[in-house]
Structure 1
């Protein structure tokens, strides 16, 4: 395991690297946690420190860029993926209905 020394003060360059990494990950459809992990390697800080900095200081500054990144992430989703997501929702509802029916039958046969 790599040990990372504590660094309290954030430099402007580090903020930019963190913001760029988070926004790039968002555009690619990755989670913020994944972005914090990637940024932690680049910045030699913990993912927790990166997440804290992003949420407490930077997220407010990049609100417009976040919305744009999320829109790009949504537009990257192919029609096939969207169709599969719809089918998955149908299957999930059917499964839920089946589970309810099984519970009903079990109670009725007691």
Structure 2
């Protein structure tokens, strides 16, 4: 999975890229194919947007499903955490749909009777 981070009118925290890569690479455990993930970090210069001045948009591209989430918060890491929760929920739903739920109960199981 390729991770691309686009800061738009914003200076990122020093550890933002390492945190983002670590959390996005942990999504591989769901075995959903994602080729590329783009993370856009936008900063609103308006001082009245204090608590929502940093906005993060996460979008996936490629042969797998299209996933998109956005969140706004007081700094870029907090906004990224909110957006990654939404992406993880979407991936988890897709993973659950692809699972095989063929359960066998005692009534439907075949029994071998030896005589």
Name the structure where strand makes up a greater proportion of residues.
2
TM-score by length of 1: 0.30
Name the structure where helix makes up a greater proportion of residues.
1
TM-score by length of 2: 0.29
